């Protein structure tokens, strides 16, 4: 996420061969909307992505549109309430796999989530980040 500019919005962000994009329902977020913003973690100096509104969903896919494995990602939840997030992976067959996480609230530290083997061959992963911030998305292909 190091290429994201703090204080600006972008509809999509590419890094290491993958694209993180924001969607409103099934429609891509466009330049006229508040899409993906960046924050800098003062402790770790990492850049974190967060949505411009809680109605946005994030989607990750490879630029090559090939399948990939989701290894892990880090999430910070600056909100006071604990958040439940459901990650949905789309498989090449069109079916889906899901992984639910609970992100503790009011936590300044990054929380790491390791994905199960069912995310070993997906074409995309989407989730509603709500008020959370994401960084260090680890994929292999």
Read off the pLDDT of residues 58-70 as tens digits, 9 standing for 90 and up: 999 998 889 999 9
**pLDDT at residue 96 above 80?**
yes
**116 lies in a domain?**
yes
**62 lies in a domain?**
yes
Distance CA 124, CA 141 (A): 12
**CATH number of the domain bearing residue 100:** 2.60.120.430
**7 lies in a domain?**
no
**2 lies in a domain?**
no
CB atoms within 10 A of CB 58: 24
Q: Which domain holds residue 20?
A: 12-140
Q: Output the CA–CA distances (angstroms, integers) from residue 128 to 66, 125, 140, in the order listed.
A: 23, 11, 22
Q: Tell me how many domains the chain contains.
A: 1
**120 lies in a domain?**
yes
Strand-pairing partners, residue 74, are 112, 135
Distance CA 110, CA 123 (A): 26
pTM value is: 0.90
């Amino acid at each position: 996420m190091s290429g994201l500019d703090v204080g600006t919005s972008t509809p999509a962000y590419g890094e290491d061969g993958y694209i993180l994009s924001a969607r409103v329902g099934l429609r891509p977020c466009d330049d006229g909307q508040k899409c993906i913003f960046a924050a800098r973690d003062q402790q770790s100096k990492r850049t974190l992505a967060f949505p411009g509104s809680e109605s946005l969903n994030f989607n990750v896919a490879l630029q090559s549109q090939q399948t990939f494995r989701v290894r892990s990602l880090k999430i910070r939840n600056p909100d006071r309430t604990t958040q439940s997030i459901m990650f949905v992976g789309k498989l090449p067959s069109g079916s889906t796999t899901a992984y639910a996480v609970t992100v503790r609230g009011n936590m300044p530290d990054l929380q790491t989530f390791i994905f199960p083997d069912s995310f070993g061959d997906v074409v995309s992963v989407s989730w509603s980040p709500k008020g959370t911030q994401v960084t260090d998305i680890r994929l292999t292909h």
